[in-house]
Structure 1
């Protein structure tokens, strides 16, 4: 369940900058390294307007809050586009580069409307005043000024609306299950929708429509009616009159690209012989694909020539490419980092494309790979450790998603724990992406419990190998990781010394009833129905069911406006801890599913480190 996904938030990295003598939003060289990693100015991979490639949009935390910035490459001018107390990261450019569209919610609740602002600056204006606020479900902008806006509400389910200047929005799609805008063809004559009308929110199907809602074609990779194979939209060909679409599929047990023409019905699976999951995007002239290949928590880039089927390596250092884009001149820009080295926006031309002024983030230690036998197959874990010999106090930081994975990329939080003398272990448990479809899909119906079996296997390895001190083990995570933390403290009470849960699912039944509709759909897929239909599964997978077994002191942080892991279900869990008189602390903050304010992020981690140190006697 992707409980923390907002467009462009994953590409900001954990550090960028120039000379060590500069400062930005209060950063100076006397601060502890772990705080400087958070405060160091950073930038995302710039998005560029398709028909005006010198106009770009990026995210930066230069002011201390993540906001959108416009960049005119021709003049070198940059300006801040948005300025809100809780930050802004969801935005895009119109194809002509004249407008910046951005999503305006309230204090991180993800419920709002689209606004637009001239690229050169000016007042914001609503793009569809007649549309009530909603959760966003995709956006596509056409060259003629047409927009297709995807919306999701508890009352209406998923809807798509065609918006043209001077006209009222026209609803062109509606369904109670989760769906969203995929892409609009280059000439604006075709629209693709990713939908889960079949009821499996983990595996989408594709429907192509005319802009008036008339159906054109359907692509549904069902397998004997079980709908266990998913599809994803990677984009229409960037050429007028070309109806081909790049599609991600799972027909061979992993994500791979293929080309599908919805008008002719022809599809071509591409013979890209690389291990792991493979994604791709078009080069601007449509003659080749930029392939990003993720394998064993690291990534590479390749160019695939569609005419010759030749695959050639695009050189990058060892680590992770968090985003990449091919430019009209044939170069590739990409955001790269490793666990040891902070991210930078680089170009295959050999230059650093974009940096924010100020201190660069201090480096950290590299990750080591651990391959551990587990109940469902070999588990891949990433390990960082401080100087000296173990056993160390050890933090098991479990990732969110669950359909995501930890990778060899720079991250301020695990680096901070290492600075404080802890080893950090991150487990790509069953449910994680990057290891094939079977690994990702393995958690169904026993969610939480399956992931924790893998965490337990890695814990046993870490203790037996001499890495981890069994008396000083911290289980922590945010979002789905926070859920696994609370569930692990209750189902494995003798294994953990301290638990730190950020924005968690704590009471699964209440969470289901209070969360946004798209997540209800995903929960029905993961658990096989609603709490009323399969109550035993919700009970078995809910941390609240095991709260009386918890032994470790518990720290919980929660956003009061969180639509993904709502606050009421957290309070239910906390009340049960209080009734027991169990040692715990709760930090509630005025935001949604996490914070875009740098000082707030630092405060939360400082509180967690202090809580852990106090209870571990450090």
Structure 2
């Protein structure tokens, strides 16, 4: 007899419905894939043998696992083992074709793995660290591992089976592994040795660490430009490296031959940011074009220099890959329609069994004149006539952007009768390099100017009830929430801040090393070198001006927005009996456990209902 499905509201179903990531496939064994799913209620890694149809859960840990890779030969699955979401740990591995007989195997890392599987240290001899890139060789025995620690800065190691790891790179500034060439002889490294963590330079080295080629577009001052590794050509002996650059004020790809130094400028006439990856035979590129919060796909034939659209529905493609047979698989969604892994054959590639997520309402595009230019916002409206209680859901990053993609959190607020506004403030990606790089030295304050401009539109247009305006966000969005409540106390009726930067100076001293580099770039130095900038941008500076009821949630193991600086802020609220509530949970920078995510949204909804008097669930 089948158990009756619990009568969950739609907003909870969106979190609970099984979903999957875009499968990563093994380069030399394309039937073997690795993907992430929440099928058990926690996001974990799964192996999928396409030839047999068999799927197997690879990891099974209390706080989930999402960082993994399948080796090019399809023999091994690597996964990163940290402690309760602190992002500090070691790489483990297990055979792809693990015994799936009865019984539960016990891994040697933290937590148990899938049925019958046994894990082993993937890079014995390397001490725990924060991960900084991973590239696996086609020979089945070579890996290039990037690491980051407070003591060592950034290091890169060549790891061969049965041998002691060899360090080939070390620097105090942030750096990481970009890719390993198809023949396993060249390593592409992204580094910020010039001190600007927002704009990487590239170095290609041999496995002994000797330099083969350099590419550096940083020029100092306001003209600094970034580069990123998109991947070596997947062809034996091919020394072409696909590179992302910003030479024309946006991200776009070019092909750099690291042996000859020749650069092939693709000059793709597409607005917005353009990324790419190789087709498996190296003859073409799969181009991902992101513009005004939506994305589309193209095939670019390198010989013919021809750009051909790969049809996808209107919305957002959050990942895409070209298969050996020439088809393209992609993860697509829109604000109104839940995500699916689709193929250009017309098929749904990977459809998890069980409950399907209910849809939501589509987004509307709004453009508002701000102090730094036109600001793009995405708006979702509930049924009925406004003005509505309105929540400004502020994205994290800051180098990220909200898009026309499915998101269970905003959909929950719409179900409860709120309008949802998401703002792609200065600092967001997808609107050109100048827009992304605008944050320097007035960090936080610049973003809030753009948010304030959209807030003014929301009220004057009749969308938002000015007495029921919520400022909300997680990570950088949580930081902007606290800073906004303190610097714009008359604008907001309530605040919801998740895993925030709350005390910028303490956060700098406690956070992971890579984020220290980013803060030095944004602020122009350390807290000791430019104390006035950290003070001006720290929510703690304005905590005594906060008047709106405030709800804060934080992970006690968070390495990005550490708990001590959150406690400093909370202590100041408590000292003056400010209306606030704090929820601390045993995880890192957010949770991979579905029930925990639902609990957090439920607590936020309840807090807003009690303090704003908004009627409860309407859908």
Task: Settle same-fold status: TM greater than 0.5.
Answer: yes
Which structure has the higher relative contact order (CA within 8 Å, separation 6+)? 1
- Does residue 123 of structure 2 align to residue 125 of structure 1? no
Partner of residue 134, structure 1? 129
Partner of residue 10, structure 2? 33
Structure 1 residue 73: Cα displacement = 0.1
Match 2:272 to one of 263, 270, 276: 276
Distance 1:394 1:220 in 2: 45
- Does residue 19 of structure 2 align to residue 45 of structure 1? no
Partner of residue 428, structure 1? 424
Structure 1 residue 279: Cα displacement = 0.3
Deviation string, structure 1 residues 207-236 (Cα, Å, up to 9, x no partner): 000011011110001236766100000000
Distance 1:295 1:308 in 2: 25
Q: Within 5 Å, give how 1:503-582 maps onto structure 2.
A: 503-582=499-578
Determine if contact 1:304/1:310 at 8 Å carries over to the other structure.
Answer: yes
Partner of residue 168, structure 1? 164
Deviation string, structure 1 residues 354-377 (Cα, Å, up to 9, x no partner): 011101100000000000000000
- Does residue 480 of structure 2 align to residue 484 of structure 1? yes
Partner of residue 373, structure 1? 369
Partner of residue 467, structure 1? 463
Partner of residue 148, structure 2? 152
* C-alpha spacing 1:251/1:118, structure 2 compared with 1 (3 Å): same
Distance 1:554 1:442 in 2: 29
Match 1:396 to one of 378, 389, 392: 392
Deviation string, structure 1 residues 73-130 (Cα, Å, up to 9, x no partner): 0000000000000000000000000000000000000000000000011310002221
Partner of residue 67, structure 1? 44
Q: Within 5 Å, give how 1:319-468 maps onto structure 2.
A: 319-468=315-464
Long gaps (5+) in structure 1 = 1-20
Determine if contact 2:190/2:201 at 8 Å carries over to the other structure.
Answer: yes
Partner of residue 4, structure 1? none
Partner of residue 8, structure 1? none
Q: TM-score, normalised by structure 2?
A: 0.95
* C-alpha spacing 1:468/1:191, structure 2 compared with 1 (3 Å): same
Distance 1:162 1:299 in 2: 36
Structure 1 residue 416: Cα displacement = 0.1
Match 2:489 to one of 493, 499, 503: 493
Determine if contact 1:199/1:525 at 8 Å carries over to the other structure.
Answer: yes
Distance 1:592 1:67 in 2: 16
Match 1:306 to one of 299, 302, 306: 302
Total equivalences in the alignment: 595
User: Structure 1 stretch 252-261 or stretch 220-229: which is displaced more?
Assistant: 220-229
Distance 2:282 2:164 in 1: 34
Distance 2:373 2:430 in 1: 14
Match 2:72 to one of 95, 101, 108: 95
Determine if contact 1:198/1:227 at 8 Å carries over to the other structure.
Answer: no
- Does residue 250 of structure 2 align to residue 254 of structure 1? yes
Distance 2:233 2:486 in 1: 50
Structure 1 residue 166: Cα displacement = 1.1
* C-alpha spacing 1:368/1:225, structure 2 compared with 1 (3 Å): closer
Distance 1:347 1:593 in 2: 33
Q: TM-score, normalised by structure 1?
A: 0.95
Determine if contact 1:237/1:244 at 8 Å carries over to the other structure.
Answer: yes
Distance 1:165 1:309 in 2: 42
Distance 1:614 1:575 in 2: 23
Match 1:217 to one of 197, 213, 220: 213
Superposition RMSD in Å: 1.1
User: Structure 1 stretch 28-37 or stretch 542-551: which is displaced more?
Assistant: 28-37
- Does residue 138 of structure 2 align to residue 143 of structure 1? yes
Structure 1 residue 262: Cα displacement = 1.1
* C-alpha spacing 1:114/1:22, structure 2 compared with 1 (3 Å): farther
